[in-house]
Structure 1
Amino acid sequence: MTDGANSTDGATYAWAPPEPKKRKNRSGLWIGIPAGATAVALLAASFVLIAPGASVAGVQIGGLTAGAAAQAISDRLANTSIAVESPAGSVTVTGAELGATVDAQAIADKAFSENPMWKPSSWFPEGTGVAINVDPAKAAAALRDLAPDTYKAPVDATVAYDAGSQSYVATPAQPGEGIDPAAVTAALQSAFDAGTVNTTAQAGVVPVEAPVTTEEADAAVAQLNGILDNAGFYVGDERTVPVDRATAASWLTITPDGTGDFAISADEAAIQQAVAGLPAAVDRGAVNADVIVDKGGEVIHTNTEGQTGRALGDTTGIAAAFASQLAEGNGRFALTVSETPFETTKTERWIDVNLSTQTTTLWQNGQVYRSWSISSGAGEHATHTGEFRIGWKTSMQDMGCVPGYDYCTKDVPWVSYFNGDEGFHGTYWHNNFGTPMSHGCINMTISAAKELYDWAYRGTEVSVHY
């Protein structure tokens, strides 16, 4: 009898254990992972670190990031110590106390850009020089505190209002004395360049300038007096409501900031008192003009100046706006007004002299205003014809009475010249009007000459003809 377990037909018998499967070797993978990570890390570091051997002012920054390098450079500067020999003896000050700084981040960034670790050809570069900046005020304060016996405080220039001159005046600054900060700064720079953390400096006593100089105070005075010169409320270019200098100064407060600037502030409440009276000072009605013109319409005399009417209106906000403007140094406050135009009355005047009829006629607005008989020049002294204008006038004058004239007439009244030495005048030595009698002038009765004198302004046209 056959049994399936013993068959030789190729079947697998249950009692025969199967051959174990061959396991894969993974040791290479486990060994390789740490080595690969290290390589990646090193590669990554080469892109952020500065090349080995790089230094700045003796500070080794190779193998550091730019940020760490910047901090190292700043720390070195802050901790550099200077033993200062001065008239007060020896004192020691650090870079930090002097307010010394460098642009460490920019220097470190430059060092990395020029000397990255990934670029082997740039490894072990030369050191880089660095310019130090020292805070003058902080350095002076540090040296003053360390050697108070050598220090004499400067006196700031000041600005104040002088009631006597009604102007702002400056009191000049006075220099002080102290240890020379330039010598200390130079020693710090030399030490930093050499890469040392300790050095010495020989420093004498030098003048210490006041923070607020005379020049700065003078500039503030010029600005303030400019305010006083022009202070007021303006309509156009007209200072309609002036503000006197003392009042303007009483509105202002001058506050020095200790560094040379003088801040200006203004009292809005005090300005408001002046603003309250503005309408009464600014508002006015229009005034019509009254003028005398020639035949061409040109004004030869103004009897009444025309004046535009104006009204200020609401004054809300003016005080605040003016206070702000004064703080900026401007004392001219422009007012906004509504205006009413004026009208102009024109009176045309001119004079006609007819030598044929021996008459003088005053014309006004195209109508005869007055007409009189006259005596013009006779014979070789005939009055010249032509178009002239009234020029020089005098209420009384001697005529002739000088070498070169063949006559002398004293106290000739109401003379109005129109052509050189030819003019209208009153006549007391004859009464023969209507007949040529003169040396070229127009003889008139005294009353007629006076009326013409008053009526004809300089520039009045005179037409002389036959």
Structure 2
Amino acid sequence: MYQPGGVGVTDLATKPGASDEESPDDAVDGGDAELDHSSGAASEDGGPEDDTAHTADDPAADGASATTEVIEPDATIPHEDARAVAAADASTESAAGPPADAALYAWAPTEPARRRRRTPLWIGLAAGVALVGLVASSLVLIAPGTSVAGVGVGGLTQGGAAGALQQRLDDTTIVLAGDGGDAVVTGADLGASVDARALAEDAFAEHPMWNPTQWFPASIDAPVHIDPATADAALRKAAPGLYADPVDASLAYDAATAKYVTTAAKPGQGIDVDAVRAALQNAYDSGKTRVTFTPAVSPIAPTTTTETAAATAKSLNNILGTAGFYVGEERTVPVDRATVASWLTVTHQPDGTFTTTADKAAIQKLVETLPKAINRDVVNATVITNSAGRVLRQVTAGVAGRTLGDTRSIAADYAAQLARGKGVYVLPVTVNAFTTTSLARRIEVNISQQHAYLFENGRVVYSYPISSGLPGHDTNLGHFHIYSKVKSQNMGNPDLTKAPNYYTKNVPNISYFDGDEALHGAWWHHNFGHRMSHGCVNMPLDAAALVYTWAPIGTEVWVHL
């Protein structure tokens, strides 16, 4: 029995297109079947074939050409099933004997089995890979129907969603209607932004594709931010007619008044950037890419306010009023206002404030003169007191000695201090204290001796003869104090008929101690040591002059016998 689709053995060597180098194995279905020439058995996929091919005598011996009929297998029978049918036919044939036309046909070997088609396997693998890819993608994609502020991000990765969110905002257009002249600005022009990365991450975290329960959620809000400086520049360029620049407050030194004066600030106007941001937010939330907006004009505050300039001027004027080099609380070396102002440079800063710097080199020139102005010797004090120690008069004022310390850093230190708003500079000075000498003075008038004694610190330093009151005009006895002094005075009454019945002109150096009784000079007589007066204590002119200067008001006067 032949196999359907079999090839005659004689044809294997003469198959058209086969070369000498081409083996029969190469000629049969790409080599899936092998022919064993030694045994005449064909094998499939390297295994033995059960069917044995029988060959007839070569018809070429009779001079006739050999003919081989190839019968195509039934296309409706699968390859494996066809082999089973052939095996059944062979069994039947064996029992009935060879067919009548057996001499006409050469038994051909069974057609080599074709390589099994693995299409279903590949289809299965592809489907599996697709399924795995679908599962994997669902782990990184955002759920269908998810939107952020009207921007659909379903089916996108987080990075793709972030880009889509920012791009939509960049492309959103705002038409400035009304006085804006229908100018157009975009979100990109305004420096608008959303936190696209965070929004995309939140969208995926809340609505991942792998979780069908989170598909088609509500839109997620996306706050829009605007860079104020970028937006202001874009709006000014688009609608310049809506802007008027503010005027900053200023200050300057006025030489006529020797102080810093200010000029007030003036506000400007411009488009309300917050209102523009709100319009952009509404457009973004609603999914619109173009909206018309009538801009609102709002005041623009000056960078430097009047209050800032006034506060700075106050600080600078305080510097001018207190500037100088101090020893303790004493402004030992004052610096005039114009000089200090020449040291200072006041700079208007972009943030609206003022900064102050001082010229260290200019300050150094004055510092070099400080030793001469500061250094001095000690001057001790002398004071006059009463016997109880109360100071009656300062004879010599005490002055402390001073020695200026290291001056090398003074200019730099003072420059830095002035920049901070402080004009008082306390110098490094060594102070040497003065001492005070006290002179306790008092006067005794001895009526019996007609003598006056001047005591200082308990000892007599001067003594003079005097003339006290005559009998009937006795000088009063007791302890008194000088209470008044008159350099020169007329004493008595010009009308000699009336008390005190005397009149003396130009009485010098009068020191009153008891009513109208006084120590004074007497130019009209030289009878000192004897009673001569109407109650006063007459003294030689030089003695009276000494007492007048030597005994201050408050000096004790003791009159006794």
After TM superposition, the score normalised by the length of structure 2 is 0.57
* Corresponding residue number in structure 1 for 2:356: 264
Question: Does 2:401 match 1:337?
Answer: no
SS in structure 2 of the partner of residue 453 of structure 1 = helix
Give the letter for the 1:349 counterpart: A
* 3-state DSSP of counterpart to 2:262: strand
- 3-state secondary structure, aligned to 2:418: helix
Rounded Cα–Cα distance in structure 2 between residues aligned with 1:386 and 1:120: 122
Correspondence for 1:291: 383
Post-superposition offset of 1:158:
2.5
Q: 1:203–1:290: structure 2 CA closer, same or farther, 3 Å change rule? A: same
1:278 to 348, 357, 370: 370
Change (3 A) 1:40 1:194: closer
Residues 468 and 475, structure 2, Cα contact 8 Å, conserved in 1: no
Mean alpha-carbon deviation: is it higher for 121-130 or for 193-202? 121-130
Give the drift of 1:107: 7.8
**Could you say what secondary structure the match of 1:82 adopts?**
strand
Aligned to 1:451: 546
CA–CA separation in structure 1 for the residues paired with 2:288 and 2:513:
100
Distance 1:33 1:100, change over 3 A: closer
Q: Structure 1, residues 223-254: CA drift from partner, whole Å, max 9, x if none? A: 22222222222222222222222222222222
Q: CA deviation at 1:457?
A: 2.7
Secondary structure of 1:259's counterpart equals: coil
Quote the residue 1:307 is aligned against.
399
The within-5 A match list for 1:132-151 is 135=228, 137-151=229-243
Q: What pairs up with 1:167-186 in 2 under 5 angstroms? A: 167-186=259-278
Does 2:333 match 1:241? yes
Give the secondary-structure state (helix, strand or coil) at the position aligned to 1:330.
Answer: coil
1:415-426 matched pairs, under 5 angstroms: 416=511, 424=518, 426=520
**What's the CA shift for 1:348?**
1.8
Whole-Å Cα distance in 1 between the matches of residues 218 and 560 of structure 2? 110
Q: Which amino acid aligns with 2:548?
A: Y
TM-score of the superposition, structure 1-length normalised? 0.67
% identical aligned pairs: 43
Q: Which amino acid aligns with 2:279?
A: A
Structure 1 residue 300: Cα displacement: 3.5
Q: Output the CA distance in 2 between the equivalents of 1:70 and 1:219.
A: 49
Q: Is the 1:51–1:115 Cα contact (8 Å) retained in structure 2?
A: no
Contact 1:66 1:105 in 2 (8 A): no
Helix, strand or coil at the partner of 1:169: strand
Range with bigger deviation, 117-126 or 176-185: 117-126
1:83 to 158, 175, 178: 175
Question: Any conservation in 2 of the 1:87–1:205 contact (CA below 8 Å)?
Answer: no
* Alignment of structure 1 residues 127-206 onto 2, 5 Å: 127=220, 130=223, 135=228, 137-188=229-280, 190-191=282-283, 196-206=288-298
Name the residue aligned to 1:351.
442
Q: Secondary structure at the match of 1:87?
A: helix
- Distance verdict in 2 for CA 1:178–1:295, change over 3 Å: same
Q: What stretches of structure 2 of length at least 5 have no aligned partner? A: 1-126, 494-498
Contact 1:81 1:95 in 2 (8 A): yes
- CA deviations on 1:350-389 (whole Å, 9 max, x unpaired) are 324568768764321211234564758999999695676x
By how many angstroms is 1:167 displaced?
A: 2.0
Q: Greater shift after overlay, 168-177 or 114-123?
A: 114-123
Could you list the per-position Cα deviations for residues 67-109 of structure 1 after superposition, in whole angstroms to 9, with x for gaps in the alignment?
998887776666554322242412233455445567x499869
**Residue identity in the other structure for 2:442:** I
How far did 1:260 drift?
A: 1.2
> How many Å separate the matches in 1 of 2:130 and 2:484?
119
Out of 311, 335, 354, the position equivalent to 1:219 is 311
Which residue matches 1:322?
414
AA matched with 1:161: Y
In structure 2, relative to structure 1, the CA distance for the partners of 1:296 and 1:65 (3 Å cut) is farther
Specify the code of the residue in structure 1 equivalent to 2:387. K
CA deviation vs aligned residue, 1:130-163 (integer Å, no higher than 9, x gap): 485662x544433222222333333332222222
- The residue type paired with residue 437 of structure 2 is K
Moved more, 199-208 or 300-309: 199-208
Contact 1:268 1:320 survives alignment (8 Å) = yes
Q: How far apart are the structure 2 equivalents of 1:197 and 1:220?
A: 49
How far apart in 2 are the matches of 1:108 and 1:400? 115
Q: Distance in 2 between matches of 1:464 and 1:72?
A: 118
Question: Does the CA contact (< 8 Å) of 2:177 and 2:294 recur in 1?
Answer: yes
Unaligned runs of 5+ in 1: 1-30
Q: Which has the higher contact order (CA 8 A, sep 6+)?
A: 1
Following TM superposition, by how much is the alpha carbon of 1:305 offset from its aligned partner in structure 2, in angstroms? Answer: 2.5
SS at match of 2:314: helix
Q: Is the 8 A contact 2:384 2:440 kept in 1?
A: yes
- 1:143 maps to a residue whose letter is L
Partner-residue secondary structure (3-state), 1:142: helix
Q: Which residue of 2 aligns with 1:27?
A: none
Contact 1:265 1:327 in 2 (8 A): yes
| Paired residue type of 2:349 | D
In the aligned structure 1, how far is the partner of 2:234 from the partner of 2:359? 40
C-alpha separation between the residues in 2 aligned to 1:193 and 1:392? Answer: 100
Residue type of the partner of 2:456?
Answer: Q
Aligned length: 420
- Aligned residue for 2:184? 92
Q: 1:457 corresponds to which letter in structure 2?
A: P
Cα distance in 1, alignment partners of residues 333 and 187 from structure 2? 60
Secondary structure (helix, strand or coil) at the match of 1:149 reads helix
